[in-house]
Every structure is written in structure tokens, then in C-alpha cells.
Amino acid sequence: MTELKRIIKSGFINFKRSGLISWASVLIVTVTLSVIVMILLSQAVLNSSLNQIKNKVDVTIYFNVGTSEESILAFKESILKLPQVADITYTSAPDALKLFRERHQGDYNTIAALDEIGNNPLGAYLNIKAKEVSQYETIANFLKSDDALVSGSDSIVDKVNYNQNKLVIDRLNSIISGAQKIGFLVTLVLIIISIIITFNTIKLTIFISKEEIGVMRLVGANKRRVRGPFMIEGAIYGIISTLATLIIFWPITAWLGHNMTDFFGLNIYDYYISNFFQIFIIVLLSGVLLGMISSFLAVRRYLNK
């Protein structure tokens, strides 16, 4: 414990003694952590946008006019058993007619023709939401199979609109898959570049102390005693940079949340506040580990001489 206290104290002394160079290192680590926060926020925006697109895609099953509600609900229960199904919405024939009238309330000819018929020409339908866009084909194949035919459902189903939507669903699935892969690659490249810049900055800081390291080795200091203060110094860089990064992004996300919500489809400020603790932990661990590991690797060069 005594040695640990000395190492920690030496780390703070090193940070204070380095002066401007220490703050330059803090600035570089802050830039690195800012990139990480931007990546987290970008991923949130991307996932929100993809989810909004996913929610606009469904498969609709239209039933013949006059089909009993009991038969439709029994058919619904059989589909709900599929693990790919996230949700099913049932719209009765009267509700379907009401929605049709609302959509065409400005079309006089259509409404007049509907009134002329007298009876409800529309049947009930089910809207099926899959957990993933790629799973709609599995659901459509199930609907074509004998397993789906319960209580005479082969005679009550009028049509399924999957084939009409198949091209859109396939393209959407490709876009989502491509966006996720590109997002991962961009994230990886930015993090690697940031780590390299941070490592070289801390390496320069320790280079200034190489003579001090040599003297400590000559008087018999072990590697842990030499390396420890620099690793503590690296952890200090990470802690200060974490606080600076989170403070910087507070007004930035507030402005974006106030002005860019419609563009992003997500209130970034609300996301930042609601996930602040998780972001804080990620950024703090990233900053501390980045500083300590960079210091460890940079000092090792002089210890092995």
C-alpha cells in the first residue's frame, strides 16, 4: 500500500510537472473520446432511422368479405406462434371501411360509389410485423404452407400482399445490412486512428522523461516502480478528458436535440441524457484504459534498453 501511494503521488507530480505537455495530451485524448461519443450518437441515429424504416414495412393478409371474426382470430393465433413475428394488428371490416372513407374523404366519386353500393365491400385484414426485415419471406412461406391452413383458412384468405412488397422489402433488407456493415467499418477505422494519435502523443510526453527513467533504473528501481507513475499519469489524462468530453457534448446535443430532431428522427439530447450513465462509463473506461495502456507501451521501450 505504501508503494502504491507513492506511485499514485508520483503520477500526479509527473502530470503537474509536465505542464503544457500534459494538457496537450489531455486535449488529444479528449479528441479521441469525442470521436467515440460521436460514434455512439451516430449509431443511435442510424438504429433509430432503420427502426423507423422497418416499422413502415409489413405483410397484410386480406380476408374474404363476410369471414367470421372467430375464424380470423384463430388464424391470427396460429401466426403468432411463429418466432419471427413481432406483432399482429387486427382490423375488422367496419374499421376497414371507416379508414377507407377517411383516406378518400376528398374523393367525391369514390365516396359516392361506396354509398351507392350500400353494403360494406371491404373485408377484415391482419397487419403482420416481423422482428427483422429479412424474416418476412419466412412468414410468407408459412402462409403458403399447409401448416397455416387452420379452420378452413385457405378459403377465408383473399390475398397476401407480400409479393407486391417483395422488391421493396428485399431492397430495404440490403440497405439495412449495408448500413450496418459500413457503420461498423467506419467506427473501427476512426477508433484505430484515434488510438494511434493518442499513443504517439503520450509517447512524446514520456520521451521527455527518458533520462529520468534511465536514472531510476540505475539506482535500482524495479520496472513496476518506474512504469507505475506514468500509468497513473495516463489514467489522469483519461479522467480529465472524460469530464471535458461530456461537458463539451452537453450543449452540442442540446442544440442538436432542439434544432435537428426532424432531420435525425431522434432527439439526440434526450438520448444523451437518458443514456448518460452508460455513455459516462464507456467514455471513462475508454479514456483511462487508453491512457494507461499507451503509457505502459511507451515506457516499455525505455525499460527494455
Q: Is the pLDDT of residue 248 over 90?
A: yes
Separation CA 136–CA 239 (nearest Å): 47
**Amino acid code (one letter) for 205:** T
Separation CA 183–CA 39 (nearest Å): 9
Q: Specify which residues 63 forms β-bridges with.
A: 157
> Which of 47-56, 64-73, 91-100, 285-294 is predicted with the least confidence, judged by mean pLDDT?
47-56
pLDDT digits (tens, 9 = 90+) for 266-275: 888 899 999 9
Closest Cα partner for 75 from 149, 158, 162? 149
Q: What is the pLDDT of residue 280?
A: 94
Which single residue is written with the C-alpha cell 539506482?
219
pLDDT digits (tens, 9 = 90+) for 38-50: 888 888 887 787 7
Q: What is the pLDDT of residue 220?
A: 67
Mean pLDDT of the chain: 79
Grid coordinates of 192: 484505430
Closest Cα partner for 73 from 124, 121, 123, 122? 124
| Helix H or strand E encompassing 62 | strand 59-63
Task: Kindly list the structural domains of the chain, giving each domain's residue range(s) and its CATH number in brackets, ordered by start.
Answer: 2-53+179-303 (no CATH), 56-172 (3.30.70.3040)
Q: What is the pLDDT of residue 247?
A: 93
Residues 6+ apart with CB under 8 A from 20: none
